[in-house]
Amino acid sequence: MNASVLLQVQDLVKNFGALRATDHVSLDVLHGEIHALIGPNGAGKTSLVAQLSGHLKPDSGRIVFDQQDITEMNTHSRVQHGLARSFQITRLFKSFSVIDNIALSVQARSGTSFSFWRPVRAESALVEEAMAVLQELGLQDRAHDLASELSHGEQRILELGLALATEPKLLLLDEPMAGAGPVESERILNLILKLRAKVSILLIEHDMDAVFRLADRISVLVNGTLIATGTPEKIRHNPLVIAAYLGEEHA
């Protein structure tokens, strides 16, 4: 296997009763690339990401991450190995402040949390690292507000931040800009661009402009089947893709 391949999905299949959500999908994500996954609604993109993050068990197929077979690995172990995910529908720790949300991710990867006596507030290292992440996200001014008090767009940024703070090798981003306004979407887009080459990214997104600005490669999923993979230029001119997807969009 090519050493620059970080994630390799081999022949993944997932059925929900009669519905085949993932139909023998094979794709890979290279080190340092931003790989976009697009497709019409219901194509099975989120199901695929869920299988990669461990939230859904595939019926057959293999997932190899960083030269290790992680098909049977549970979610939290995958995160420990550097595979983190953000969710399409925002899942934050609502009763925590913004900085404490990030601090949780930092805590998860730094030392054991089976520590019962020492107050966690005294750990300045956690706070500093969390603050650094917030600076990157541009949320440092909101550090001590409750996560539930953020605007929707800011919550999407924090959502991304939670995954980012685990210091992953591969980020699975499920529609990071979903529901965010134009200003926040631009922020998220720039954030992802900044991450390029530092973190590999598999990105589900509907916004075609964003996809073409961000992606090194694009894979197109239709009805659970991968119909094309390639550079944005190739995909743009791929007749199958145009017929199945882009054609509807630009009609």
Q: Give me the least distance between CB of 168 and other proteins, in Å please.
A: 10
Q: Give me the least distance between CB of 147 and other proteins, in Å please.
A: 9
Which tokens belong to 203?
């990105």
CB-nearer residue toward other proteins: 106 or 218: 106
Q: Give me the least distance between CB of 71 and other proteins, in Å please.
A: 17
SS3 206: coil
CB-nearer residue toward other proteins: 5 or 108: 108
Q: Give me the least distance between CB of 108 and other proteins, in Å please.
A: 4
Q: How far is CA 23 from CA 15, 27, 37, 61, 129, in A?
A: 8, 12, 15, 10, 41
Q: Cβ distance 66 to 73 under 8 Å?
A: no
Q: Cβ distance 140 to 118 under 8 Å?
A: no
CB-nearer residue toward other proteins: 119 or 182: 119
Beta strands 170-174 and 83-86, pairing class: parallel
CB-nearer residue toward other proteins: 86 or 238: 86
> Across the strands, what pairs with 15?
20
Single-letter code of the amino acid located at 198: K
DSSP 40: S
Q: Give me the least distance between CB of 155 and other proteins, in Å please.
A: 12
Rg (C-alpha) for the chain, rounded Å, is: 18
Residues 6+ apart with CB under 8 A from 238: 220, 228, 230
CB-nearer residue toward other proteins: 103 or 226: 103
CA distance 223 to 240: 13
Q: Give me the least distance between CB of 160 and other proteins, in Å please.
A: 12
CB-nearer residue toward other proteins: 102 or 211: 102
Q: What residue ranges bind other proteins (CB under 8 A)?
A: 53, 55, 74-77, 79-80, 84-85, 87, 91-97, 99-100, 104-105, 107-109, 111-123, 144, 146, 162-163, 165-166
